[in-house]
Structures are given as C-alpha cells and as structure tokens.
Structure 1
Amino acid sequence: MGEDMSSGEAPTTSQRLALLHSDTEKASEAARELAERGEFVPLEEADVVIALGGDGFMLDTMHEMLDSHRVRPVFGLNLGTVGFLMNRYRSSGDIAARIAKAKPHRVSPLRMEAITQSGETITSCAINEVSLLRETRQTAKIEISVNDRVRIKQLAGDGVLLATPVGSTAYNLSANGPILPLDSQMLALTPISPFRPRRWPGAILPDRSRVTFRVHEPAKRPVAVVADQKEVRDVAEVHVEIARDKELTLLFDAGHALDERIVAEQFIT
C-alpha cells in the first residue's frame, strides 16, 4: 500500500482527511497534486480516508479498515482500470466539498472460518467473495450445506464461491453468477465450472444464511479457499456468513453511486 500523505494539520472542513495511494506512477502523481492543494492528517487521526488507485487498492484499503481499531469511511478516486468501487478522479475542484456531499453506502463483508486438513482454524473477512478452488488436476468434490441442512451432497467441478452484492459483479459474474442489487440482502452461491450436477446454476440466498462447505477426499482432491486475496490451502471444511460487526462505509459522488452501477452492469453487452 502506498504512503499516507499528511501535513499534520486538519483541512478547513469539519472532517479530517487522510490520503492513501497505490504504488503506481499515476496514483503517486495524483497524490502529490492533492497534497499540494489541501491539508491532510495521518491515518490514525482521520475521519475519512481518500484512496487513490484502482479497485484492488480499494479492497486493500477496506481490509486495512477491517483490521484497524477504528473503521473510517473511504472515498475512492479511480487511477486504475475499471474503478467499479471508485469515484472519477478530477485534477481540479474541492475534494473536501465532494466528500461532504458524497452518498454513503454501507457494506458488510463475509467472515470465513477455514479448518485445514491438519486441524488448524483460520479466520478472515472477504468484501467480494469466498472461493473454494481445486489445487490440482483432480476435480474438487464438495458438500454444500445452508444453515446446517445439506443442499448438495456432492458438487464436482473446479470449485464454488459465495459472493456479496458488492462482489457479485467481480469473480462471481465471470463464473456466470447473478448480479445482486446492493440493497438485496442476498448472497450469490455460484459453482465454478461444475461437472456434476452439470445443470445446477447456483443459488441466491438470504444474507442471514450460514453456508458450510465440506471437502470430500481432501487428501486426494486438495482444495484451497480464498477470502478476497487471502488464501488457505488444503482445507477440509469452510464456514461462511455475514460479519455484521464489521460494517464498512464507502462514499460516492451524487449520481455516481454503487447501487446504480450494479443495476447498469446488467445491461452491458
């Protein structure tokens, strides 16, 4: 993650702003320009965080918020490629005024609890999705339960994922999963290259669901789980549910909100 650029004094607005940027040349140059025009505080003193970069850097910033003692709203400015989670970067204008008028969107991540073949338990959060993926050429075979009721005794294929509405337009969409409106209170359960049951398209679940994945023949057919960027290999069992105690806030310019982007994504051909 790029440096936290600060002058040590709060800006003229009532909100104290911290400035973070990715390591790309474009983001670094934009950060220098903003730092020359405004005053920023260190991250630990900030009320709002400005993130300069692409969607990957926004995810990194949001995970940093999850790991901190104080979760702050994040206002992203796109210096990457797609910028689905970001606002448009403009080299002119009052950034503090934009943030003051911004529309908040609250996002609850998934909490993943993975139990490895050796019995170790590893917990992590995912803002986009939790994915189970085969590690070798051997097809993964996975049992899927929802709220302790077995729904699929054995899914054979490359894997399966559980996505939030924010993540439904990412890997989930590439795997032919559904796009979920931001306020749908649903999760997308999507198979990845399924072999059996071949015609199972996945499922849309209420976000109060607790989903359990159990790996069949884990020694012969090893499976890894990935919570956003964090990978755990050789898992035997994985539990996933919404982490309601980890709510995050993203800020968007008026008319440039995430819910509208998710709707619009469904009409892109």
Structure 2
Amino acid sequence: YFAFLNKREFEDFQRLTAEIGKEIARINARTKTTTENQKMFTAYMTHKLERLLLKRARIRKKAEDKIRVFSHILSSISIRPLIVFCEDHEQLNEIKTILKNKVGSFLVYTSKMSLWQRNKTLDMFRKGNSDILLAIRCLDEGLDVPECRGCIIVASSSSTREFIQRRGRILRGLKGKTAVLCDIIVFPPEVRGAREVEAAETLIRHELVRMRQLVQAAENEWEVRNKIRKELTRYGLEDLANL
C-alpha cells in the first residue's frame, strides 16, 4: 500500500536532506585531521548528524497520509487476529479513533502500561477477548505474542532488526499457515526539478530497503514488485525497482 508525503512534509524532508549532506561533508573534512579538539568537534557533529537522520526518518514514519491508508487497509482485509504497529502515542491515538469507528473492540499495548497491564493485555489477546492488538514498538522486544494471522505496519522502519522482529511476531507458531503482512510504503508528492527528484530518490531508496526484505519471502512477490515499479515511473525512477 502507498502513502504520499504532503507538500509540507516533503519540504521538511528536502531541508533535512540538505542539512544532512552538509554535515556529512563537514565530518569528512574534519576526519582528515587528527588534533584532539578536532576529534571532539567531529564527535559532536556526528551526534548532530544522527539527530538529523532520526528527524528525517520520523517524517516517513509519521506521514499524515498513513492514517488514510490504514483506514483503507482495515476495510480491505478480514484477517484476524491482527497486530497493528504504530510509531508513537500521537499516531496510536489517531489509529484508535479509526478502530473505534470501524471495529469497536481492540486492545492497546504500550510501554506506559504497568507490567501487570501489559501481561493482562497479551493474555486477553491470546484468549480472544479481542482480535486486534494495537502496539507501539515496545512489542518488538522478544515477547511471547500469541499466534497472529495478520499485521499492519504503520510505523515503517528500514531497520533489519525491527523488521525481523515484527515479521517474527506474525510467523511464529503458524505452522505452515499463510500470514498477511501489510506495509505502507511512503512516496513523495509530485516532484519538479532536479533538487526535488534527488530528494525523492533518497526517500524512495530508504523505503525500498524495507520492501525488499518484505517481499523476498512473500507469495505475491512479483505482484508487489510490479506495483512498485509502476509507481516509480511517475518519478522517472523505475530503475530503482531493480535494486
């Protein structure tokens, strides 16, 4: 499924991409020198670069259009039990509103809950008190999640570790059954000019890292690849589909 950055989000993405490029150039220039003060300054700039990268990544993870796409996915699939991964409490609250309107009953699992509450929530999910579990990333960390047939990943990440953990939440214990994993790939809006195309390519490359991990084991691999290739032609970047 595809979501699209709005104009403001894409402008922020472009601005941060430019700042990241400048920081990388500064770090590369500084690493050619060896004085202690210069090393300390390089470490500071590296920390600044990490913050910029995280800030840019959050634009992809929290794209406003993902909420619309999530609502569409929820109406399109009937697989249950279902886990929904979101990025933070702000996104969680937006998704809760949709779930209340569309399905009524669901469970929430977050790190702000007490250990007793979290265990109780998983136990209720396991017993079928509700067949939808809405979680933030705290569910990634090695928990014994009940058998689950479906997953909607709203909080997308290019981290291989996070992807493996989330896929494992679904595939564990299915014993040959088919699971449905729905990911939301973020694309830029319509682009004009070399600068926007360059930023669009940066965004899409990050998203395709996760896509490749997802589709390699999927039964509908080529269907997904063809859909993505078709979307890439809108930006003149169809060659990226071969990466």
Q: Same fold (TM over 0.5)?
A: no
More helix by percentage? 2
The TM-score with structure 2 as length reference comes to 0.27
User: Relative contact order: is structure 1 or structure 2 higher (C-alpha 8 Å, sep ≥ 6)?
Assistant: 2
TM-score w.r.t. length of structure 1: 0.25
